[in-house]
Amino acid sequence: KTGKFYEMFHMDADVGVQVLNFRYMKGKEAHAGFPEAAYGTMCARLVAAGYKVARCEQTETPDMLAVRKKAMRSKAGGGKTKVKLPMVVNREVCSVVSRGTRTMCYLDGNSAYMEKQVANGGSNNCGLLVSIKEIVLENNNENNNEDNDNDDDTEEQPAAEYGVCIIDPTRATVTLGQFADTILRTRLHTLLTTHAPAEVLLETTTSTNNTNNKSNSNVARLLKATCPNA
């Protein structure tokens, strides 16, 4: 945020030029920008293109900066000791928006881009964020016929245990669940097909444990089949 504009610098400016059709502004460093009123539209277009958008806001005014500089001078002995004073106001990352964390706020306004997407039968880029944890179990393939001699009545042993968290950012709801699944992953397949998440979080590990690697590959393969755009 710079005054009444949002500006993108360096590699981010390259993305703005390529995706948002911006033009580079004059200066030694590559940068491009747009008025703050267009934030909703620009954010929606970047999220739709698969990018995450980090929004940096000014967290102090010029008057607050002057007070901070004065306090730094006093702390340094009233000018007796040289101290490097800040020249610009503080800025901080206030939000990070992705396909699974996009919410409607006052900055979005009546985004013409989102209205056009919905009118054409598309989505408004707001979707569910799903986090999945899988634990592969040791399969027991031996049929226990002590209590039941009929193989047709023998239940299939669970092959994996799942912990799932589903977040709906537009409704501000969080749903937690846990279930066992068979080797075909039918329950997980049903869950992903029913909810169609926009973004999925999986555990990353640097472990060489074969069980962890097998777990990640199982979920990733199922996600590719059921949620190719997540």
Write the pLDDT tens digit of every residue in 67-82. Answer: 998 888 888 776 666 7
Q: Examine the domain organization and report whether 17 and 110 are in the same domain.
A: yes
Q: Examine the domain organization and report whether 105 and 195 are in the same domain.
A: no
| Residue from 196, 43, 54, 229 nearest 129 by CA | 196
Total domains in the chain come to 2
Q: What's the domain range around 48?
A: 5-119
| Strand, helix or coil for residue 197 | coil
Contact 201, 174 (CB under 8 A): no
Calculate the CA dihedral of residues 156, 158, 163, 166 and round it to 10 degrees: -20
Q: Examine the domain organization and report whether 40 and 106 are in the same domain.
A: yes
| Residue from 5, 105, 98, 93 nearest 49 by CA | 98
Q: Percent of the chain having pLDDT more than 70?
A: 74
What does pTM read for this prediction? 0.68
pLDDT one-digit tens code per residue, 132-163: 998 888 754 434 444 444 444 435 778 889 99
Q: Report if residue 176 sits inside a domain.
A: yes
- Which of 70, 93, 119 is the last residue in one of the domains? 119
Q: Examine the domain organization and report whether 113 and 172 are in the same domain.
A: no
Q: Examine the domain organization and report whether 181 and 219 are in the same domain.
A: yes
Q: Examine the domain organization and report whether 209 and 145 are in the same domain.
A: yes
Q: Report if residue 147 sits inside a domain.
A: yes
